[in-house]
Structure 1
Amino acid sequence: MNVARKKKKFNVRDSFKLQRGVGGSNEHCCVPLCSASSRYNSSLSFHCFPKNTSLRVQWLNKIKRTGFSVTKHTKVCSRHFEDHEIVCTAKGRRVLAASAVPSLFEWNNFENNETRTSGWKRRPRPSSPEPGSDAEEDLEHCDPPVPMVVDRDCKASPTVCVDREQYENMLREIEASRQQLQTYHLHSSFGLQRFASSPEDIRFYTRFPSYNHLMAFWNLIEAATTQMVRVTKAKKNYVTSTTTEIPSTRPTKLLPIDELFLFLTYVSTGCTQRELGHRFNIHQATVRQIIVTWANFLYSLLGSVCIWLSPAAVKVKLPSEFDGIYSDTHVILDCTELRCQTPSSLLLQSEVFSTYKSHCTFKAVVGMSPHGALIFVSALFEGSMSDREVFRRSGITSLLTPDMAVMVDKGFLVDDLVPGRVHHPAFLSKRTQMPEVDVPKMQSIVRLRVHVERIMRRVKENKLFDTIIPLSISGSINQIFTVACLLSNYQNGPLFKK
C-alpha cells in the first residue's frame, strides 16, 4: 500500500547547524554578528546583492552597513530571509524572490515583527448634500448654543504625577545602566582607551611616557592615515608558484588609532600574532596585515623626515662634555645586532651567522648626535658581515664632510673610509700596557660612547628585538627596526640638555 508522505516545509533556521561542507567553495556572510560560512554550513545558501540600486540600498540599510563596499563576492546567507522569500528551482537551486530583503538578524532575535497598524484612521468624508435636500431644513431648526461652564476647582489627577516620577526614575536608571555598560565594555576590550589613565601601562605597551605624549604623536600622523595603503596576502599564484603582496582599501574592524596601538604593542611586548589576535578579538591573519601595513606606513612617513643634522645645529646643542678635543664630533656610531631564528638552509645559515654573537643575527649601524638624538639608522645586513663592511654599505659616508668627526669603538676600522677625523680608543698593539698619556683619552671616549649604548638600550627595550626574531617576519623586520629607532626620538627626551 502506497502511503502519501507529506512534504516537510524547509526552514533555514531549524536546519542550521555546524557541519563541514563537502564543496570546494568558501563563502562568508557579510552581515555583522553572523559567522556563517559555506565551508562549515552546507545547509545554507549564499546570495549576492541585487543589481537594482534602490534594492541594494535597502539591503545595506537592513544589515546596518551603510557605505559598505559591495563586490561580486559579497554574500548574505539564507538565515536572514523569510522562508517564502527563498524559492527552489526545478534543478534544486535555491534563489531569492525578486523583491526579497533580509530582515532576520541577531539584533532582532531572528524575528520579523510586522509594522503595527496605526490607531488613527481617517474617517470617510460624508458626501455633500444636494441642493434642495432635507439638510437645508435641518439647518433652520438647530438648537441654540449651550453656554460652557468651567469648573475652576478641578485639579490634576495624582496618578499623572506618580507616573511622571516613575518615568523620570526609569530614565535615571537607564542612564546609569548605560554608563555601567560602557564602563564594562571599556574594561573588557583590549584597546588604547582602556589604558588611557595609566601612564605605566601606556609606557609598557607603547614605550611612550604617557597618554598625552602618544596622542601628540597621533595628531602628527592622523591626517596621513587617510592615504594609507593596506597590505593583504594574495592567493598563491599557481603559474609562478609565488605569493605577492597587493594593496587593499577595505577597512578593518579596529579604529586606526587602535591599529597603531596594536602595532606598538607588538613591537614593545614581543607578543605573538596569535596572542594579539585573541586580545583584540580579530583573526591572526588580520593582525599580520595590520603589522605589515603600519610598518610600511610609518617607515615611509617617518623616513621622509630628515633626521641628519647640519654641523651648525650640532654645534648649538653640543654638550659641555664634548668641549675640547672632541668638539668637532658630529656623530657617534655603533654597530648593533639582532638575533634571529636559525634558517633551515645551510647557505642562509652561513650568511647570517655572527661569530661575535655565536648566533644568527641581523646587523645595522646606528648614529647618535652628541646631545643624544638619533640621526642615522642603516638597513639591516647579514650577521656574517664585518662592522667595516656594514659601515661601507650603510651609506653614511656620503653624508660626512671633512669638518665632521665621527666617534666609534676600537673595532670600527673605518679611518680610511671617512673624509674627516675618527675618534676611537687607543690600541695596545704589541704593547703589554697602555701608555699613561693615552689612558685619559681612552677613558673620555668610553665615557662619551656609552651614550650611544643608552640609545640602543631604548630601542632594545622593545621586547621584539630582545628575543629571537622569527623568520616569518623577516620580510618586514627592516621596516619594523627602522621605525622603532625613529620612534625613539618621539618617545623619549634627549640624553643631554644644553
Structure 2
Amino acid sequence: MFCLCVAAGLKERVLAGKFGVSTDTVSCVLITWSNYLYLVLGSVQIWMTREQVRRTMPVKFQQVTPNLRVIVDCTEFRRKNPKALTLHCETFSTHKSYTTFKALIGVAPSGAVTFASKVFTGPISVKELAWQSGILELLEPGDEIMADKDFFFEKALVAVGAKLITPPIKHKSHLSREETTRSQATARLRILIEQAIRRIKEYRIWDSPVPLTLAGTVNQIWSCCCMMANYQGPLNLEETSSTIVQAI
C-alpha cells in the first residue's frame, strides 16, 4: 500500500477500494510506514566525509573543482490548499504562484545524494532555507560548495572556512575567457543535482499536490524518497564528465 502510494502515486480513495478498507485505515498505514522507513533509512549515514568524496570523485571532475564537497539546489512540490486563509498565506509560494513545500538537496560529485533537508513551507527564501537546513554545520575549512546564483550565503561560508562556487555574474558586456570556461564547467557539473532531483521526483506521489492528510508526514516521505534514490544505481556521470572536459 505504501509503495503504491509513493512510487505509483495512487490516491487514498483508490487504495481503499483496492484493499477493501476505509480511507482512514489507508491514512493510518501510510503514516505508520512513513515513520518506520524514516527511522530505518535515517539511520544510514549518507553525508560523506571529505576523504570519501575525494576517493569517489570522477577524475575528470577534479580538473574543475578538486575541493568540491557538495552540490546543492532547492526544489518545490505542490500541496493541497488549506482551507484556513492564514495557513494558505504561510504556504503560498510567490515563485510558483500556488501553495508548496520546499526542500534543499545536496549531492556529492559522485552523484550520490548526501544531504536532504527537512521540508519547509513555500514562502521561505532560498537564503533562509540554506541557513535553516543545517548544511553549513557539516562543512569544514577548505570545502567548496557549488550552488546557483540565488544562494547568497558567502559570508556564512567564510565563517567556516568554506568557499561558494557559482556561475560568474555578468557585470560587463562580455565575460573573460576564464570566466566563460568556468561558467560552462560549473553549469555542466550542476547537471548532477538536476538529475538527482528528477530521480527523486520520479516517485509519482509528487505528481499531484500532497493531500492534507499526509501534510504532517510529508517530511518523512520526502526524506525516504531522497534516501531510496541512492539505491537506484549511479547517475549518468560519464556523459556529464565528457561535457565538462570539452568545456575546459
- TM-based fold match above 0.5: yes
The corresponding residue for 1:276 is 15
Structure 2, unpaired ranges of 5+: 242-248
Q: Give the AA of the match of 1:426.
A: P
Mapped contact 1:371–1:495 kept (Cα < 8 A): no
When Rg is computed on C-alpha atoms for both structures, the one with the higher figure is 1
SS at match of 2:76: strand
Q: Give the AA of the match of 1:486.
A: M
Q: Give the AA of the match of 1:467.
A: S
Q: Give the AA of the match of 1:423.
A: I
The corresponding residue for 1:327 is 66
SS at match of 2:51: helix
1:343 and 1:296 map into 2 onto residues whose CA distance is 23
Select the residue among 363, 376, 394 that pairs with 2:133. 394
RMSD: 1.7
2:207 and 2:129 map into 1 onto residues whose CA distance is 21
1:466 and 1:413 map into 2 onto residues whose CA distance is 30
> How many residue pairs align between the two structures?
236
Give the 5 Å matches for 1:441-480: 441-480=182-221
SS at match of 2:154: coil
Q: Give the AA of the match of 1:422.
A: L
SS at match of 1:357: coil
Select the residue among 125, 147, 150 that pairs with 1:411. 150
Structure 1, unpaired ranges of 5+: 1-261
Post-superposition CA distance 1:22-74 (Å, at most 9, x none): xxxxxxxxxxxxxxxxxxxxxxxxxxxxxxxxxxxxxxxxxxxxxxxxxxxxx
Mapped contact 1:339–1:362 kept (Cα < 8 A): yes
Select the residue among 488, 492, 495 that pairs with 2:233. 492
Compute the TM-score of the two structures, normalised by the length of structure 2. Answer: 0.90
1:296 maps onto 2:57 in alignment: no
Change (3 A) 1:325 1:451: closer
Structure 1 stretches of 4+ with a deviation exceeding 4 A read none
Post-superposition CA distance 1:361-393 (Å, at most 9, x none): 111111001001001000011110111100100
Mapped contact 2:64–2:185 kept (Cα < 8 A): no
The corresponding residue for 2:101 is 362
Select the residue among 425, 429, 433 that pairs with 2:167. 425
Post-superposition CA distance 1:191-241 (Å, at most 9, x none): xxxxxxxxxxxxxxxxxxxxxxxxxxxxxxxxxxxxxxxxxxxxxxxxxxx
1:375 maps onto 2:114 in alignment: yes
The corresponding residue for 1:340 is 79
Q: Give the AA of the match of 1:428.
A: K
Higher relative contact order (Cα pairs below 8 Å, separated by 6+ residues): 2
2:230 and 2:40 map into 1 onto residues whose CA distance is 14
Mapped contact 2:116–2:223 kept (Cα < 8 A): yes
Post-superposition CA distance 1:338-383 (Å, at most 9, x none): 1112222222222211121111111111100100100100001111
Mapped contact 1:269–1:462 kept (Cα < 8 A): yes
SS at match of 1:356: coil
**Cα deviation, residue 469, structure 1:** 1.5
